[in-house]
Amino acid sequence: MPDDRAGVRHVAVVGGGVSGLVLARDLARAGVWVTVFEAAERCGGRIQAADIRGTSIDIGAEAFATRGGAVAALLGELGLADRVIRPAPLGSWLVAGSDGAAVPLPPAGAMGIPAAPLGRDARRALGLAGSVRAALEPLLPARVGSGSTTLAQLVRVRAGKAVLDRLVRPVTLGVSSAAPELIPLTSTRALTAEYARTGSLIRAAGRLRDSAAAAGGAVASLRGGMSELITALVADCVAAGVTIRTSAPIHSLTDVGDALESSESAAPAGTPGACGPTDIVLAVPELAARAILGHPVAEIVTTPVEVIALALAADHPAVRPLAEAPRGTGALVTAGGPNDVITAKAVTHITRKWPDADRNGPVGASSAGMEIVRLSYGRAGSSPETAALDDAAAQRLALRDASRLLGTELPDTAVLGFTRQSWGMPVHGDRPKPQPPAGVHLLGDWISGVGLATLIPAARELAQQLMRAPGSPSARFTGAPRPHHQISERH
């Protein structure tokens, strides 16, 4: 840490996920002294690479929406512009959980709402009556749906039940693990803004559609997986002077002060003994933020989800049909009910979706000879069905689901590799956000909405705000240090 940082504004960032790292990078590049505290052994949060039979895959976020250009702009700054890859233009599918019947997913504008409800794919997904009902939506007066507070209410009353149940529900469950009933309109800003402008959900969907290509065409990824973004962010942060402490869980605001003191005492010679005004940014999920603030809430704030990936032998006779990408880049499941034959909520056919991915990098070996599929489990309101299963049982369930989703019977003997990872996704709701004390700020997908296209601009905007704000008092961290630091490791 250079000497000239004495008295310089300081920001402590709790959480080294993409939000915290983007914020830390922007602040540090503007001359702010930044320390990041990350509970895990590595940064990245829900962006993480996993190894499956020597091949590197994304086991958390695997893509970003290109809308708005904010992610592309950041990637350009990080020197990753030429690492951006597009999914194969294969489209994706909807599969009925009740019987495995599959139809192509209509090119969607927003959250499954079809931009062209009378189009062939929309008719197949909705049935003729459902399509016609949706096509009438632009003719409805503005007062229809005006009292809606959730996405489900608005879609149902304006576009009809078929659009809600057969398109919007599988998309929101598959993408953000949230049932449309639990998505307040206040959290669907882009859609509601276009809806307000055009007076129609169908027209809004058309305007939001980034391209006329098949659904999924408006996303992109990185050649080496989304974890390349984290690697680049960490490197840039360090180059800009950010101190990143991993294996450093923070349990309270006082912990931050303690941990900073320990940072200062552990810092190399020449480091200033006292810093200037300090702000704290909690870039952690809601549960952790509330615990740190001492604002617990009785409601469930996180939906547990699980991702299971299977590597299948491409030359196994039962696997060969997958070379034709029978469900394009993947499929979303329309949940039927207790008698469903499919438990997963979505499948991604990774090796077909990202043909330009480079899995031969330092982490991964070639995926040649393998078809890799990734299944997701867990819908709002309950634990994922896989949570109680050991690896062998989870693999059996995933294989059975993959067989039904992809339309080909996949035996145990075709499996070369298996990996799984549990995650949490924010549960939207109308509970009030905790009010942090002065100088403490909240960041993350439970504040700004899920997805990198939303999170990255939110992190950058907060960085701008902090750069503009006058210094906040450092006095609140001068309490006596605790006898035992809760920092388990320093890096």
- Give the pairing of strands 64-65 and 10-14: unpaired
Nearer to ligand FAD, 28 or 455 (CB): 455
Which residues, other chains included, contact 74 with Cβ-Cβ below 8 Å and sequence gap of 6+? Answer: 22, 456, 460
Q: In whole angstroms, how close is the CB of 451 to ligand FAD at the nearest point?
A: 4
Q: In whole angstroms, how close is the CB of 55 to ligand FAD at the nearest point?
A: 18
Which residues, other chains included, contact 91 with Cβ-Cβ below 8 Å and sequence gap of 6+? Answer: 104, 105, 107, 214, 215, 216, 328, 329
Per DSSP (E only), the strands in 102-251 are 102-104, 108-110, 113-114, 219-222, 243-245
Query: Which positions touch ligand FAD (CB under 6 A)?
Result: 14-20, 37-40, 45-47, 60-64, 249-250, 283-285, 288, 305, 307, 423, 425, 444-445, 450-452, 455
Q: In whole angstroms, how close is the CB of 376 to ligand FAD at the nearest point?
A: 6
Q: In whole angstroms, how close is the CB of 350 to ligand FAD at the nearest point?
A: 12
Nearer to ligand FAD, 117 or 424 (CB): 424
Q: In angstroms, rounded to a whole number, what is the distance separating the alpha carbons of residues 441 and 459?
A: 11
Ordered alpha helix ranges (H), 199-226: 201-208
Q: In whole angstroms, how close is the CB of 283 to ligand FAD at the nearest point?
A: 5
Q: In whole angstroms, how close is the CB of 316 to ligand FAD at the nearest point?
A: 27
Nearer to ligand FAD, 67 or 203 (CB): 67
Q: In whole angstroms, how close is the CB of 334 to ligand FAD at the nearest point?
A: 19
Residue with tokens 């940072």: 263
Nearer to ligand FAD, 158 or 352 (CB): 352
Burial degree of 79 (CB within 10 A; 0-12, 13-18, 19+): exposed
Nearer to ligand FAD, 8 or 40 (CB): 40
Nearer to ligand FAD, 122 or 253 (CB): 253
Does the CA dihedral 176-179-184-185 come out positive or negative? positive
Q: In angstroms, rounded to a whole number, what is the distance separating the alpha carbons of residues 280 and 265?
A: 19
Given a contact cutoff of 8 angstroms between Cβ atoms, the answer to whether 300 and 427 are in contact is: yes
Which of helix, strand or coil describes residue 461? helix
Edge-to-edge strand ranges of the sheet holding 346-349: 102-104, 93-96, 330-334, 346-349, 370-377, 302-313, 415-426
Nearer to ligand FAD, 342 or 459 (CB): 459
What amino acid occupies position 27? L
Q: In whole angstroms, how close is the CB of 252 to ligand FAD at the nearest point?
A: 9
Burial degree of 365 (CB within 10 A; 0-12, 13-18, 19+): middle
Nearer to ligand FAD, 286 or 371 (CB): 286
Residue with tokens 């809430």: 297
Q: In whole angstroms, how close is the CB of 215 to ligand FAD at the nearest point?
A: 14
The encoded tokens of residue 368 equal 């040649």
Nearer to ligand FAD, 162 or 455 (CB): 455
